[in-house]
Structure 1
Amino acid sequence: MQIFWVSGAVGKIHRINLTLKHLLLGACAFALTLILLGVFLQYMGFQMAIEYNPQLARKLGNVHTAVELENLNIFYRQKLIAIEKQVASYQLKINDLQTSNQKLSVLATPPVIQKDKPRQASVGGPFISPTRSESNPSLMNALQDSLQDMKRNNEHLNKLSEHWIGYVSWLETIPTGMPLQDRISISSGYGKRLDPFKNIWSEHLGVDFQAPLGTAIVSSGFGRVSKALRDPVYGNLLVIDHRAGIQTRYAHASELLVTEGQEVRRGQLIARVGSTGRATGPHLHYEVLKDSKLIDPAQILIGQFASQ
């Protein structure tokens, strides 16, 4: 294609040859110019929007200022730190529950009953939060929801931990343990029996644990010694007051190792087996009273004489 035009006073003729290549290059240059102009106008428009109307800029192009981005990062960091604290709190509460479980296992399975049996392993498992129904939550919402779930679960763990710690503490004060730690042999149970001296039927309101002279007698629960004396029938006698209106008596001891008013813990050495008082030989006569009434020790001893 050729283009002619005339210019000047003398009418000079000019001629330009246009090829397809020239046309394509011109079209590309024109298009590129339009694109660059559009990008420039868009950039200037966002800059003006950020300066005069930040909310509009965020809606149009998801643009955040440097201050807003820093605030967003601070928010995420705070949420992550809060979640880390909740996880650490989880672990502490789980440790408390495991400790309570171990104490309860010791209280519920006295060593004398289980000395020939394998110890049972602790049980546990991971805590799994309920699956959320939201299909595609934002990161901010997911963090917030996770933190709320963890706080609720942590409150539940707190209640569980307080309940079991309190229960174990209460159970430790109740005389559920055995008064002898080894060589358990019951020579006379609770109830009617032939009196060993008169050979007639009588009420035996305790349990006789037969053991060699000098065998250690231990407190079956936390309490305070209310009596430590010599009695013509019971011989050397200890009486220990526990919670819930419960008392325990330990009779016929060869020697007493604690005094009146002294606090004793579960499993503490308090006396030694003897045959003082009305006894035919070395043994421990053990009684339990509930609200000043004698009851069958098997009702409160966890072992319930399983080693007979």
Structure 2
Amino acid sequence: MQIFWVSGPVGKIRRLNLTLKNLLIGIGGFALALIFVGVFLQYTGFQMAIEYNPQLARKLGNVHTAVELENLSAFYRQKLVAIENQVITYQSTVNELQISNQKLAALATPLLIQKEKPSLSSAGGPFITPVRSTNNPSLMNALQDSLQDMKHGNEHLKKLTMHWNTYVSWLEARPIGSPIEGRISISSGFGKRLDPFKNSWSEHLGVDFQAPQGTSIVASGIGFVSKAERDPIYGNLLVIDHAGGFQSRYAHTSEFLVSLGEKVQRGQLVAKVGTTGRSTGPHLHYEVLKEGKLIDPSQVLIGHTSAR
């Protein structure tokens, strides 16, 4: 395509050949010129902004000094360390809860049925990867929110752990456990029964656990030995005082394995089954008192079923 135009007083005719190639070259040159002008203006304006308002220039251009970058790095490191500490606290608290759960499961296991302890899976916290130093408000807020959430969660777990530990300690101090190791056999329950010697009705104020001679007798709860002596009726009698006004008695034993005043733990070996005193054969006569009054051991022994 050709373009003709007339110019000058004499009407000089000029001609321009307009081809596709020339058109593309022209458009490209014009675009490059605009880009160059834009870059020049931006650079000039940014330099002026740095000179007259450095804070604005850094904000607009996302430019940081070495000190600012180090401060940002320190901020992120501090938050990450705080989060890692909260994760460690969380794991520790969860472990404490698992221990309390295991103790509670053991305390609540019925006497006559052997149960396996529940299998608990370990809990773990997230793995925190290092974050590149950048002035990212969203990342800062996310770190701060995560840290606050973990702190609140750990506070709740601590309160829950304290509650369950207190409850477990309360249970462990009561005579609610089995006084005989392993599977047990009850030959005589609490209440009226035929006396084995006189063959007439009488009150039986305890529970008889039939077991071979020398079978282990264990403390049914945490407490202190208040009596370990020979009695004409009970034979070798062991008495343990517990919290809450409870007391447990272990009669007809063949020998004592603890001494007067000794503190014993729940499940600790304290004596051996015998047939001392008024007894027809090897067994443990077990009694529970509350505030000095004899009560039916089935009221406190977990899983106990009276047999008469």
- TM-score of the pair, normalised by structure 2: 0.81
Please list the CA deviations of residues 144-198 of structure 1 after superposition, one character each: whole Å capped at 9, or x if unmatched.
Answer: 2121111111111111112212222222222211111135111110111222233
Q: Distance in 1 between matches of 2:246 and 2:188?
A: 22
Which residue is 1:278 aligned to? Answer: 278
Secondary structure at the counterpart of residue 303 of structure 2? coil
Conserved 8 A contact 2:91-2:125: no
Name the amino acid aligned to 1:258. V
State the shift of 1:35 in Å.
3.0
Which residue is 1:96 aligned to? Answer: 96
Q: Distance in 2 between matches of 1:30 and 1:44?
A: 21
Which residue is 2:144 aligned to? Answer: 144
Q: Distance in 2 between matches of 1:275 and 1:23?
A: 120
Secondary structure at the counterpart of residue 244 of structure 1? helix
Relative to structure 2, which stretch is displaced further, 43-52 or 261-270? 43-52
Matches within 5 A, 1:10-49: 20=18, 29=29, 32-49=32-49
State the shift of 1:22 in Å.
7.7
Which residue is 2:199 aligned to? Answer: 199
Matches within 5 A, 1:234-273: 234-273=234-273
Conserved 8 A contact 1:226-1:261: yes
Which residue is 2:179 aligned to? Answer: 179
State the shift of 1:82 in Å.
2.0
Q: Percent of pairs identical after alignment?
A: 68
Q: Distance in 2 between matches of 1:114 and 1:262?
A: 31
Please list the CA deviations of residues 36-91 of structure 1 after superposition, one character each: whole Å capped at 9, or x if unmatched.
Answer: 24313312322332343234225544444443333223322322222222222211
1:300 aligns to 2:292 (yes or no): no
State the shift of 1:118 in Å.
4.8
Conserved 8 A contact 1:226-1:260: yes
Which residue is 2:11 aligned to? Answer: none
Q: Distance in 2 between matches of 1:65 and 1:205?
A: 86
Secondary structure at the counterpart of residue 250 of structure 2? strand
Name the amino acid aligned to 1:56. L
Conserved 8 A contact 2:189-2:208: yes
Which residue is 1:121 aligned to? Answer: 119
Name the amino acid aligned to 2:112. I
Unaligned runs of 5+ in 2: 9-13, 127-136
CA RMSD of aligned residues (A): 3.2
State the shift of 1:142 in Å.
1.8
- TM-score of the pair, normalised by structure 1: 0.81
Conserved 8 A contact 2:187-2:307: no
Please list the CA deviations of residues 204-262 of structure 1 after superposition, one character each: whole Å capped at 9, or x if unmatched.
Answer: 11111111222221111111100011111111101101111111000111222211111
Q: Distance in 1 between matches of 2:125 and 2:113?
A: 31
Which residue is 1:167 aligned to? Answer: 167
